[in-house]
Chain A
Amino acid sequence: MSSPTDLTRMTAADLAARIQAKEVSSVEVTQAHLDRIAKVDDRVRAFLHVSADRALSAARAVDEDVAAGRAPASPLAGVPLALKDVVVTEGVPTTVGSRMLENWIPPYDATITRRLLEAGIVILGKTNMDEFAMGSSTENSYYGPSHNPWDLDRVPGGSGGGSSAALAAFESPLAIGTDTGGSIRQPGSVTGTVGVKPTYGGVSRYGLVAFSSSLDQAGPCARTVLDAALLHEVIAGHDVLDATSIDEPVPPVVAAARAGATGDLRGLRIGVVSDLAGGDGYQPGVLASFERAVATLRELGAEVVEVACPHFRYGLPAYYLIAPSECSSNLARFDAMRYGIRVGDSNGASAEDVMSATREAGFGPEVKRRIMIGTYALSSGYYDAYYGQAQKVRTLIKRDFDTAFGTLDVLVSPTTPTTAFRLGERTGNPMSMYLADLCTIPASLAGIPAMSVPSGLASDDGLPVGLQIMAPALADERMYRVAAAYEVARNAAEGGPQIDRIPELEA
């Protein structure tokens, strides 16, 4: 059983405050999490790489600052974090869950990595993911799947299942994910944690191994809304190294989370997207949870109306054209010439032979499928019907959102149609796996901010469900306000945080 003083159960905000108050040192906090990883990660398999030495030395630096009375580098100084292995880290292996980059040690840091380090955040290690962030279960990781701490036979979502599993298993209070079609929100939903995809361009992509450039967005993952907001403000903001980065002030998400926690949503207009709230493939327990969540939002004073977004049903096909197309080009650089593994370099093999043999051996089946779909969709003669048409659908989806946000402040839906599925259940059928992203994809295509917040356990299988909250571009703070209010209300109704109901892993 956890004790009230168990450092791994505390929120990031609490840990940061205690470190500044010298109640506990960052080294102690870090060591507690490293111990927890050592204890449970053989079953959860959230981490691909743990950098204990680097973590402890970063923690010591924070403790020295505290001892010397220096102001903290950020409100999260000294707090540990799990970094998705898609984020490039100088001197620390970065594999993207692929054999292609087995043992690759980057010579540079991503902008996010740099901002985390400068904020005094302690990076514990790199978390598991579907290969190149393509998947919804982490089963596409070359290094084997991660397991959902709620039920180790189930997936923790994907692609960022390592990050979500690490949070739910109390291996880390904070994590970074990346979301292309739902890879932060869907894992958050199925592990009962908070996952946020900021406005596209809100967080620098420099140093994220690219999957789909026009969709990829990194964001904060945590166990509480406030922790996510605090992390959001650390990583967000303009970056001159990313041409698609937005040169505007970071939305005031921390203030919004604090304001929301007062539990007052009066005056707020919330739309329930009817096109994402039922139909084929939705689990009854998920829909029941969603209805309860909507009722709670009403009780908090919000006005709730139904809204139709007729083009959302083309979101999934448009996404599965755009993302593979961009990936087929982004992943061309993995060719065994400059970095990564090299296969078949013998007996007069040509560069072309070696490229093809390496890519065959280095990429898993899902990556190959998407590369080939993208290659097809961009081919001359098909471009207009596929990639071109998908980009137009994107405009239509964006217009649906624009219309809805013309009268509504935020939109809500379930984050994902089902709770965590069993390992192996969908691996044989790519299309069924793709459906896990049904609800998250529209926001990705429109580039708007969206997040998942735990909305209780499904009545039918007792597994976590997530509520998705979507806001207009650059208005990320709106969804934090709603999420924080909802979190407080749900905790009050259920007698404590949902994550406390997770089964013990210490067996």
Chain B
Amino acid sequence: MTGLAELMDYEDVLSTFEPVLGLEVHTELSTRTKMFCGCSTVFGAEQNTQVCPTCLGLPGALPVVNAGAIESAIRIGLALNCEIAGWCRFARKNYFYPDMPKNFQTSQYDEPIAYNGHLDVELDDGSVFRVEIERAHMEEDTGKSLHVGGSTGRIHGAEYSLLDYNRAGVPLIEIVTKPIVGAGARAPEIARTYVTALRDLLRALDVSDVRMDQGSLRCDANVSLMPIGAGEFGTRTETKNVNSLRSVERAVRYEMCRQGALLAGGSRIVQETRHYDESTQTTLAGRTKETAEDYRYFPEPDLVPIAPAKDWVAQLRETLPELPWERRRRVREDWGLSDAEMRDLLNIGAIDLIASTVDAGAGSAEARSWWVSYLAQKANTAGVELADLPITPVQVARVIQLVTDGELTTTLARQVVDGILAGEGEPDQVVAARSLKVVSDDSALIAAVETAMAEAPGVVAKIRDGKTAAVGAIVGAVMKATRGQADPQRVRELIIERCQ
């Protein structure tokens, strides 16, 4: 176990070194089936039930490329302003690891499907930084291992491991940046905002669930330092296991400070893979290899080349949606937001969600209100990004519609949202299953109104004295007694009738 590394003060790092970043983002595509077989990709199925001879690597089984994955890969490439290869292939990356059934990963090596692009990233202060994209290539995911025994449930010290191959073979797109130079103090922020922008883009393309918490979006951060003015990059480390946007920023910053301390102390940086530890917010060295990696890449002989027709690529270009930053610009103007309001919405990642909710038919005020208050609270409590809540803009828009139509009260609507978040299904299913209906039938309400009035004679007296604002207290009590199902307008009328 490595002890805690010495860290250099961040300002000192910047006064001596220029950070160089390289970001590799893996995203699982939300195709129905895996990259090379017809197994389902749905998350959370019982272990080893979404497997077949191909993705289990059984002797004799063969891969066949999923057309849907190619389509998604091309659309991603186009949205990242990449060139799309006229001809490319898969290759085998050979290394042994128990979570990889064939002991090679079918990936793309020197012939990626998309290359030479860029992504313009909006930083926290609204300025724009262009990140150059080296390539976006297709590959397949590995299975998942559960480490048993030992104290931590981690790989180190485990007695044995249990493998589930449901995820093995799920399509991945790996997006690799060119070296990001010149970021200076903003390197950590650029890393975070780049991954955020990429996530928003992938979501807008509807090609991935982009859930960092579930691993459908993963970031590896390559960091190195070079003395200011030096022409040559320093030795880099690659930090894996960075599971949230905040962690991306912290991991980069931590590595800068760790490497700065080492370099300043006259040590050399070891080129190695490190793992981000969420609990300590540090990076830890992986097991060093006694021999250099030699993946023995060669063209995958079980597959034939991919040569996307120009027409097809042109058609796919037509399917590109309004891109997140374009939409943001539009929304800001449409809603007349101030800089501060815009930044607040951006900070919690609500802009796209609100815009999508509006696109799905909701009013912009209601849409904003739901996402920035009730849902933002829910995300905060759950410790996830707003966008990672298991509710879609379309569902929120439906809930708003039900309120507008008078089918639900705000209180009931919140219960519907709770139900959706709990996985109980679509808004209308939750309404039905929980029997959530506004009660405006007098016979059902009168008893509740009279009970509430009897329990609060003081309030009733005030109302009779003409202080009509006090009605709210009784209404509140009735709403509580009816678990929110009463129609508050009718309740108010019934109370005032009885006080006259």
Contacts and interface: CB of A to CB of B under 8 A. Distances in A.
Interface string B71-113: 0000000000000000000001010101001111000000000
A431 interface: no
B301 A88 contact: no
Interface string A462-476: 000000000000000
Closest A-B pairs by Cβ, 8 of them = A332-B103, A378-B296, A213-B301, A214-B301, A207-B60, A209-B59, A88-B60, A333-B57
A243 B56 contact: no
B63 A332 contact: no
Interface in B34-65: 53, 56-65
A244 B304 contact: yes
Given A213-B301, A213-B302, A332 B104 contact: yes
B298 A94 contact: no
Contacts of A96: 59
B303 interface: yes
Interface string A355-389: 10000000000000000000100111001000100
Interface stretch (A53-61, A105-113, A159-167): A105-113
A231 interface: no
Interface stretch (A36-44, A121-129, A309-317, A334-342): A334-342
Contact of B298 (A208, A333, A334, A387): A387
Interface in B297-314: 297-298, 301-304
Interface of A: 87-88, 94, 96, 101, 104, 106-108, 110, 205-210, 212-214, 240-244, 325-326, 328-329, 332-335, 337-339, 351-352, 355, 375, 378-380, 383, 387
Interface string B286-303: 000000001011100111
A101 B94 contact: no
22 contacts: A94-B59, A209-B60, A210-B59, A241-B62, A243-B63, A243-B302, A326-B298, A329-B94, A329-B298, A332-B102, A332-B104, A333-B102, A335-B96, A338-B58, A338-B101, A339-B58, A375-B296, A378-B94, A378-B296, A378-B297, A380-B296, A383-B298
B161 interface: yes
B101 A205 contact: no
A337 B96 CA distance: 11
Residue of B58, B60, B65 contacting most chain A CB atoms (<10 Å): B60
B447 interface: no
B60 A333 contact: no
Contacts of A339: 58-59
Contacts of B181: none
Nearest to A381: B294
A333 B62 contact: no
A338 B96 contact: no
A325 B59 contact: no
Contacts of B94: 328-329, 332, 378
B103 A333 contact: yes
Contact of B92 (A205, A212, A329): A329
Contact of A205 (B56, B57, B62): B62
B92 A208 contact: no
Contact of B304 (A108, A243, A325, A383): A243
A107 B60 CA distance: 12
B163 interface: yes
A378 B95 CA distance: 12
A207 B61 contact: yes
B340 to A, nearest CB: 54
Contacts of B61: 108, 206-207
Contacts of B102: 332-333
Contacts of A88: 58-60
Contact of B57 (A108, A214, A338, A355): A338
A214 to B, nearest CB: 4
A338 B296 contact: no
A241 B60 contact: no
A348 B59 CA distance: 28
Nearest to B165: A338
B316 to A, nearest CB: 22
B303 A243 contact: yes
Nearest to A335: B103
Contacts of A383: 296, 298
Nearest to A340: B59
Nearest to B300: A213
Contacts of B56: 338
A126 to B, nearest CB: 13
B58 A108 contact: yes
B296 A379 contact: yes
Contacts of A352: 96
A57 to B, nearest CB: 24
Given A243-B302, A244-B302, A337-B163, A380 B294 contact: yes
A94 to B, nearest CB: 7
A204 B451 CA distance: 79
B100 to A, nearest CB: 9
A205 B62 CA distance: 8
A208 B60 contact: yes
Given A106-B59, A243-B62, A326-B298, 10 more contacts: A104-B59, A214-B301, A243-B302, A334-B59, A335-B103, A338-B56, A338-B101, A351-B98, A351-B161, A383-B296
A243 B92 CA distance: 16
A240 B64 contact: yes
A428 B44 CA distance: 54
B438 to A, nearest CB: 54
B64 A108 contact: no
Contacts of B297: 378
A108 B57 CA distance: 12
B58 A106 contact: yes
B67 to A, nearest CB: 12
Contacts of A210: 59-60, 302
A466 B163 CA distance: 50
Contacts of A334: 59
Contact of A378 (B57, B96, B298, B304): B298
A257 B303 CA distance: 33
B120 to A, nearest CB: 36
A345 B96 CA distance: 17
B59 A101 contact: yes
Given A108-B53, A351-B161, A329 B296 contact: yes
Nearest to A87: B60
A110 B61 CA distance: 8
A332 B61 CA distance: 14
Interface in B156-200: 161, 163
Contacts of A387: 298
A387 B62 CA distance: 22
B219 to A, nearest CB: 27
A375 B53 CA distance: 25
A325 B299 CA distance: 11
B62 A335 contact: no
Contacts of B53: 107-108, 207
A110 B163 contact: no
A216 to B, nearest CB: 9
B3 to A, nearest CB: 25
Contacts of A243: 62-65, 302-304
Contacts of B298: 325-326, 329, 378, 383, 387
Nearest to B163: A337
Contacts of B63: 243
A240 B62 CA distance: 10
Contacts of B64: 240-243
Most B CB within 10 A of own CB, among A96, A329, A335:
A329
